[in-house]
Structure 1
Amino acid sequence: MTMSTSTPLRRIRVCYFDQWTDALEPAGDFLARAVGMDVRRRLANPGDGELLRKARLDCDWYTENARCFAALSHPELEFLPAYVGGAAGLLEFAKLPRQPGEERWLITMGHQPQLLGAMAGRIFGLLSKVGVRHLLYAFDEASRYMPGFGDVAPYLDVLIHDEAPLDFRGAALLRAGCRRIHRSWVANVLPFAAPFQEEPEKKVLFLGSKLGLTDNRLRQFEFLSEHLKDRFVPSHDHSVSVADRLRLNRYKVGLAPEGRKFGTPAMSRTHTDRPFWLGCLGAVPVSENSAAGDRLNELADAGLIVRYPHQDLKGLLRACEQALEVSEADRRRIYLHFNEHETVGAVVAQAIAGFLGVR
């Protein structure tokens, strides 16, 4: 009999910290009930219709994160069924019985750790002590602007961050073995959730925002309205609903101007998530470069986005016209790349693998 010489896969179980729940529960159970979750009990004024609408969008967006993290996959790792928990559930995760060889990871994102307030350092310290590793996929300059970053930093095993450099005070508190990855927050969608449209409408979708309609964005909006006319489709919602987002694959081009928090030197190389989920939809992402001229260089150099100079209206129009003429073959190449490499699940799975020394 021939004995197998293959190395057993590392067994990983993750728990995603979600602010829209409390106790620990299997991710599948959370996802099943999240659609009908009553978000009013978490609102200061549940009778405010606009506040309720925004809360529903926010809850759905975080639920999609949970869906992505529950579906983590890597050829050299075995991801066990995931959990989701709020503040009350984190220590429950540490106490769960482990399967043989099971390794535990907590995933937090954005500025979520601050929700634990003064207890953050103590809770993350206890989790670290019992062997739960911590990956923070941060955005919006967390090392500078997230309250309590210094309490969290000493217990991080992986930090994915959109700012460079990190604030020196926060960086000094990271443990020596913390894996640091400079990366935009990418698309929180399951790969290939949206089918590729072979004949999309030859129009440019403008993803603006009521919250972030800066003077720069307003100029771009008015300029494209004048020059593209009926080939221009504006959207002003701050957060497109999850259900509506996948339907936007009907358009050939998606425009993602500079985010309102991305004008600082530390944020010049990264972008909001908009170009990433546009690529996942099969649209050609048109992205505004930073003033420094180094935003998403790798994607631009590979022809995976069409980039235009910062605040350059004529350059913007040229980029849109160029994107509208991209061939089906090149658009399919964009679609495949973003779905395979530019989703939060792919980035997190690879980050964990890299920390463990797995290719």
Structure 2
Amino acid sequence: MGKIILTGDRPTGKLHLGHYVGSLRRRVELQNSGEYERVFVMIADAQALTDNADNPEKVRQNIIEVALDYLSCGLDPERTTIFIQSQIPELCELAFYYMNLVTVARLQRNPTVKAEIQLRGFSDANAEEEGPQRQGIPVGFFTYPISQASDITAFRATTVPAGQDQEPMIEQTREIVHKFNAVYGPTLVEPEILLPENAVCMRLPGTDGKAKMSKSLGNCIYLSDSAEELRKKVMGMYTDPDHLRIDDPGKVEGNTVFTYLDAFCCPEHFAKYLPDYQSLDELKAHYRRGGLGDVKVKKFLIAILNETLEPIRERRAYFEEHISDVYEMLRAGSESARKVAAQTLHDVRNAMRINYFDDKELIEAQARHYSDHA
């Protein structure tokens, strides 16, 4: 079997630069590489509902936003199967079977689950009291790693492009696959995570300098932002709070503007936008010794980001004029993905020996048994 990719995003808002450098840019490269037999990209609406159950319209409306971001970044439906998670009911059945292979204690130890629980303000999993400030954890959210294992294994994915924060989730999928295969026989494929090549891209900080760009924190630069929106956000970016005057020495470490330059800047950008410098190392050295203002560096970053986003904006404008075609693409992709998931489920049911009506040997053996004892 060839190499297969499965990845995706929750439709809780438009995609941002963190998504782009952490996974999306790489997906387009992998799609175009010719190294993979199939590429599946999922809009994970069912997972989004695990912590948005009181706002389903938010998820519903953002399906098209995520699809537009995918297409505008260069994902090609001719080479990538783009589908909606909830349209593949086989995923729910697989997750139900996998639940028997994972303990509650193991889920509680998952670092990604613990971090997301804290981010969303849920109370402790063992808390008995709930209220406005202590909302309990929805079961669907708590079992998120099991659902993700269902998504990955349904398409026999060998490779999952994702950020570093997803490593514990992929490891839990591997544990589920190992346990299933040990109990029922070799059936499922163990996936490997594919991290961004640039370490900075593993977790791009928000514009406010927080550890992660997050829609809920309001510190994102969206792929669909206009040039003016981008300018305002970059000009308001967190830098070195002690760099008060141009002549003051500045810190590069923890300085969001330089982190973004690490993620997006290429050597050729200097000749185009900042010819006074030959490289990013040279720019950093000047900032560290003093004499370089934040505004100049931010304007350089704005030019680079606009160069990155302008073709994305142009493609998005085209697809916004053809929304019915986008929905047709999603329908066709979901139908194609479901056929693959259905075959995996068939194999899983066979391995578990719950294919009662297809097991002629079982029926004949039972018939002989009761005939002999009649």
TM bucket (normalised to shorter chain) is 0.3 to 0.5
The higher radius of gyration belongs to 2
Determine which structure has the larger helix proportion and give its number.
Answer: 2
TM-score (norm 1): 0.34
Structure number with higher relative contact order (C-alpha < 8 Å, ≥ 6 residues apart) = 2
Determine which structure has the larger strand proportion and give its number.
Answer: 1
TM-score (norm 2): 0.33
